[in-house]
Chain A
Amino acid sequence: MASENPTASEYIQHHLQNLTFGQHPDGSWGIAHGAKEAADMGFWAIHLDTMGFSIALGILFLWLFRKAAKKVSADTPSGLQNFVELMVEFVDGSVKETFHGKNKVIAPLALTIFVWVFLMNTMDLVPVDFLPTLAGLLGIPYFKVVPTTDLNATLGMSLSVFILIVYYSIKVKGVSGFVGELTLQPFGKWMIPFNLLLEGVGLLAKPVSLALRLFGNLYAGELIFILIAILPWGLQWALSVPWAIFHILVIVLQAFIFMMLTIVYLSMAHEDH
């Protein structure tokens, strides 16, 4: 905790601060205390809480699904296998609906995105003070538990998707095809600079919008939870409960949107004009 009796704005800022590990401007390595120090660390710093939670949740997802996949059988499924099959079938259906080519990567990619993002979003439903207070007792000054409220996490995923978009565009259409797609439409070869500008913005908007949409939604949701947490404790549940219930919808929806847009972008990358 920053201080014993934080003001509202201190409390909010404290909740929005990641546990950043990096090099201080004076050359020593360590954890940043406060937003200013974290910003001074520049690019070569890492958010331990974001990484920790996202990796832990990713491992949870893979462990759970691998457990089911190991003893999966074509007979009557039960328990965990039912759930895993439901997810796989749902994702597979979404992929087949949108993407008609042959690609072994897209479906598992979509499954990973959906479940992983969903799990990361779900951390939002943990009451905002539980884990940070626990961490504070253990001497950890900052603890932001929802990885998807960190722009680094969402942008990291969306940039990976962007790399795949470029990779498959070039693989399917060739370099010339991809460049042609960026420069020769919509206005033909006499407007190449303008076309490039238009299509380039369109291309770059994909990862940016993908990242910002998820980040924005979850950040805002988290912020509202934090604001609710400032209220007198007797009033909190009256707002916190409806918002949490509404948020159940949001976290699934955002995971689904991220997955669906990834599928759409990749299927667009596979399309030859």
Chain B
Amino acid sequence: MAARVVTVDRKAVEQLTGVLGIPATLRGLRVTSTHFFRNLWGWIVGRPQVRTVMVPEEHDPKPAAFRGMPVLVAMDNGKERCVACGLCEWACPVDCIHIVPAETDDEVERYPLVFDIDMGRCMYCGLCEEACPEEAIVMSAKVEISAFSRAGLLWHKDQLLTPVKTLERRLEHIRNDYGRR
């Protein structure tokens, strides 16, 4: 098991060209026409062979590991799971998370009074999700954040709260994966 040093074959390239480049041209035509007819057939039978996706009308299927924008998990009663411990704020390399904690008389005493994420700064790195000890902030599959102003990119708690049902796939992935260690 070791690496061998080999020399690349320039002679082979010369042979590919052939007399006056005619074989090379014919070979090129074969490649492009194969692609053309395959794509044409795919289009006729309704199974396109091209990778083009008509965003935003349609989207590529996303893998389970996909990291979109971070959102807050809302429990069934509509409250956030977050206890405002601030770990995500610490972990965030670009300081895009801002939390103001507060206390209540509920069973879980602490909650975030303010929980803002500046989506204009966020780089979807997922360190907040990894740091969170409560499964309260997760990377959703959402990626579309466009807004008309910079202020519109500052997402507040009510915008970030996402029902737990829609995040099941991601939560399952986290449990499968981070839980394994």
The answer to whether A and B belong to the same complex is no
Chain B interface residues toward A at CB < 8 A: none
Instruction: Please give the residue numbers on chain A whose beta carbons come within 8 Å of chain B beta carbons, in ascending order.
Output: none
